[in-house]
Structure 1
Amino acid sequence: MNIINKAQHNYKENKIFYFMVFIFFCVGITLGTFMVKYMNYNDATDLTNYFSTFTKSIVTEQVNTKILLLDILKKNLILLTAIVLFGFTIFGTPLILLIDLIKGFTLGYTFSFLLTSFEGKGIWLAIASTLPQNIIYIPCFIALSIVFIQFSSMKLRDRFFNKGKVNTIVEKEIIFKVGVFLCVFIVGTIVETYLCPNLIKFVLTNVYKIV
C-alpha cells in the first residue's frame, strides 16, 4: 500500500478526527478575526503604534537572526511538545483540540490585524508576514494533531474496553512521525527566520514606501 492509499484509508477510518481538527482550527481563525474587528479604540491604537515602531525598526535596523531563530524554535517546540504529551494520555483529545483553537485564533488575529493596518491596505504585509511559513506549518500542525488525537483515542479505547496495551509497533510509528514533523517544523522555522523578515522589509520599502 503506497503513501496515497494509506492516506486515503486513514481518512476514511478517521473522518471524525479530521472534521474535529478542521472545525476547531477554523473556529479559532474566525474568533481571531472578529477579535480584531471588535477591538476597542484604545487597544487598537496602542497595538497600531507598537506595530508602526516595529515596522520602522525592521527597515532601519539589522534583524538579529540568531535571537529570532531561537525564539521561533522555542515557540514551535513548545507547541509540538504539548501536542505530543497530550497525545500520549487518554484525555488528550480535548486538550489538543484546544491547542488547535488557540493556534487558529493566533493566525486569524495576526492576519486580520496586518490586513487592516496601513488604513486597510495591508494585504501585502499580511501575506509576507504570515503566508510563507504557514504554508509549511499549517498542514504539518493539522496532521500532527490528527495523529495524536487518533493515538490518544486508541489509548482511551484500550484502557477501558480492550484492557490491553497499545501495540509497540504503533508507538514506533508514532515516534517516526514525530521525527518527520519535527524536520518539517524546522524547515518552516528557517523560512520564518530568514525569508519572512526580508519579504516584510521588501514590502515596507517598495510597496508602502517606509524608509
Structure 2
Amino acid sequence: MRRHPVKSVISVHMREHASVYLFVIVLFLMGVIFGAIVVNSLNFGQKQDLYYYLTQFFGQVSKGNIAGARDMFQQSYFHNLKYVAFMWVLGISVIGLPIIFILLFLKGIVVGFTVGFLVNQMGWQGFLLSFVSVMPQNLIIIPAFLVMGVVSISFSLQMVRNQFMKRGHEPIFPVIMRYTAVMILISISLLVSSSLEAYVSPLLMKQVIEIVGNE
C-alpha cells in the first residue's frame, strides 16, 4: 500500500527536524510557564487595574459593543501574518536566528499570561473564558508559529552549513522556494485562525459571560 505523497513529505520533515521541534516546543512551554509566573509577580494594584479593564471588555462583549467581525478578522490576520513574515525574513538573514527563539518564547509568555491572569482572578470561570477566547484560534496559530519557527531555524542552519561546505550542498534557489512555499501555506492556514477569532470566539465568549453572569 503506497503512502500518500503529502503524508510522506510531512513524515520525512518531522523525522529530520525532530530535535528542532523538541527544542522550540520546550522553548514555547517555558514561555507559557514564565507568563503564568509573571501573573503571580504582579502586585495587588496592578492586578486590580488589569481586572478592571478586563471586566470592561467583557461587559462590552456581552452587550455586543465590540469591533465588527470584519475589522477583527483583518486585524488578527495581518498581525499574525506580520509575525510569520518576520520569522521568514529572520531565517533568510541567518543572523536573525536568535530573534526567532525570542519570538517563540514571547508568544508562549502571552498565552501563559492571558490564561494565568484569567484563572488567577476568576477561578474556574476564568478558565472557561480563556478556553473559549484564547484556545480556538490558538489551536491553529501556535502550531503554525512553531512550524514556521522550525523551518526558519532549519533554513538558517542550512545556509550556515553551505557557507562552510564548498561542495556537495544543495543549490540555494530550490531551498528558498520550498522555504517560501511553507510560509505561504502557513499564511493560508492563518485565515482559518483569524476567522475563528473574529466570528466564533466572540459568540462563545458572549454565551459564557451570560452563563457566568447568571450564577
When normalised by structure 2's length, the TM-score is 0.89
Counterpart code for 2:73: L
**How do 1:155-170 and structure 2 match up within 5 A?**
155-162=159-166, 166-170=171-175
Moved more, 31-40 or 4-13: 4-13
For structure 2, list consecutive stretches of 5 or more residues without a partner in the other structure: none
Match of 2:184? 179
**How do 1:96-135 and structure 2 match up within 5 A?**
96-119=100-123, 121-135=125-139
Q: C-alpha offsets along residues 152-206 of structure 1, whole Å, 9 cap, x if unaligned?
A: 1111111233387853122221221111100101110111011111111110012
Q: C-alpha offsets along residues 116-141 of structure 1, whole Å, 9 cap, x if unaligned?
A: 23355311101011111011111111
Aligned length: 210
Moved more, 196-205 or 172-181: 172-181
Match of 1:19? 22
Question: Could you tell me whether the CA contact under 8 Å between 1:158 and 1:166 is conserved in 2?
Answer: no
Q: Distance in 2 between matches of 1:107 and 1:166?
A: 39
Q: After the TM superposition, which parts of structure 1 deviate over 4 Å for at least 4 consecutive aligned residues?
A: 163-166
1:78 positional shift: 1.9
Counterpart code for 2:111: L
Q: Does 1:196 align with 2:210?
A: no
Q: C-alpha offsets along residues 67-106 of structure 1, whole Å, 9 cap, x if unaligned?
A: 3223212321221121111011122321111100000000
Does the residue aligned with 1:63 lie in a helix, a strand or coil?
coil
Q: Does 1:59 align with 2:59?
A: no
Pairing partner for 1:28 from 16, 26, 31: 31
Match of 1:150? 154
Q: Distance in 1 between matches of 2:110 and 2:171?
A: 34
Instruction: Calculate the aligned-residue CA RMSD, in Å.
Output: 2.0
Moved more, 87-96 or 198-207: 87-96
1:46 positional shift: 0.4
Distance 1:160 1:38, change over 3 A: same
The alignment-based identity, stated in percent, is 23
Q: Distance in 1 between matches of 2:15 and 2:94?
A: 23
Match of 1:9? 12
Q: Distance in 2 between matches of 1:13 and 1:200?
A: 40
Counterpart code for 1:45: Q
Q: Distance in 1 between matches of 2:98 and 2:50?
A: 32
Q: Distance in 2 between matches of 1:119 and 1:29?
A: 18
For structure 1, list consecutive stretches of 5 or more residues without a partner in the other structure: none
Q: Distance in 1 between matches of 2:140 and 2:197?
A: 10
